Amino acid sequence: MPVARAFRSSITAVALAASAALNLGGCMQTAGPVAVMQPRADLDSMAYGQPYGAPPPVVVANNGGGAIAALSNSFAASPAPMPVGYAVPMAAPVRYDASYHLDAGDKLRVVVYGQEGLTNSYAIDAGGSITMPLIGAVPARGRTTAGLAGEIAARLRNGYIREPSVAVEIEAYRPFFILGEVTAPGQYPYVPNMTVESAVAIAGGFSPRAKRDVVTVTHTENGGSMRAVVPLGTPLNPGDTVFVGERWF
């Protein structure tokens, strides 16, 4: 009898151990909720919660083998990242007349193809020249951009580069000046196609003492200057000086 009782007890213990093992195996096969990492947010989502027009976020809670599918669906529902700089509008190049004559104060972009050390921005100095590596000072006053490009290429060809290819563009015009009876006289950046009237507007408008029918423009080119009383619709050039006279009554 004691032997039989001990045998039955051992059988019961084995059965309980087997049942516990089966239960544990079932628990291991059933996974808990899967936490899915969403793609890193861009600036819009950090500021406002999610990018404009993006689909609502996918909440995933799958079991077992569905975790991989849920992860794929989550990333598929997320918007594709925008290319770096995509939302930043590019600045439009300065428009200018090809016959425009350069002068002191103009800022140029000189591109020497294949020569990064020479490609740069250069300002025309008070002497009317730009200074570049290798070739030094190059006279620019009175030249067109095409003429200056040809001069630079000729100097580079003289012992430095066999077949240089050069392009010159205007990055910024020299400023204009407005003096006399305006709200804020001074120096201002030139805007292509501007007139005397728009220059007055940029300077804050006429003062109460302005004599609006006496506006003088002084234009300087190639070392010479011309002065004339002009109507408000007269076009301005870079470097011009506008003077608004004063009325006495």
Q: For 115-171, write each residue's pLDDT tens digit.
A: 999 999 999 999 999 999 999 999 999 999 999 999 999 999 999 999 999 999 999
For position 127, what pLDDT does the model report? 93
Q: Is the CATH number 3.60.70.12 carried by domain 107-172? A: no
248: confidence class by pLDDT, cuts 50, 70, 90: confident
- Residue 180 Ramachandran class (φ > 0 left, ψ -120 to 50 alpha, else beta): left
Share of the chain above pLDDT 70, in %: 61
Question: Are the CB atoms for 174 and 239 separated by under 8 Å?
Answer: yes
**Does residue 194 carry a pLDDT above 60?**
yes
**Taking the domains of the chain in order of start, what are their residue ranges?**
107-172, 176-246
pLDDT tens readout for residues 97-106: 778 999 999 9
For position 189, what pLDDT does the model report? 95
CATH code, residues 176-246: 3.10.560.10
Tokens linked to 217: 């423009």
Question: Are the CB atoms for 132 and 118 separated by under 8 Å?
Answer: yes
Task: Flag whether the pTM goes above 0.75.
Answer: no
Tokens linked to 109: 């972009």
Element (H or E) spanning 144, and its range?
none
Question: Beta strand 176-180 with 241-246: parallel, antiparallel or unpaired?
Answer: parallel
Q: How far apart are CA 62 and CA 155, in angstroms?
A: 72
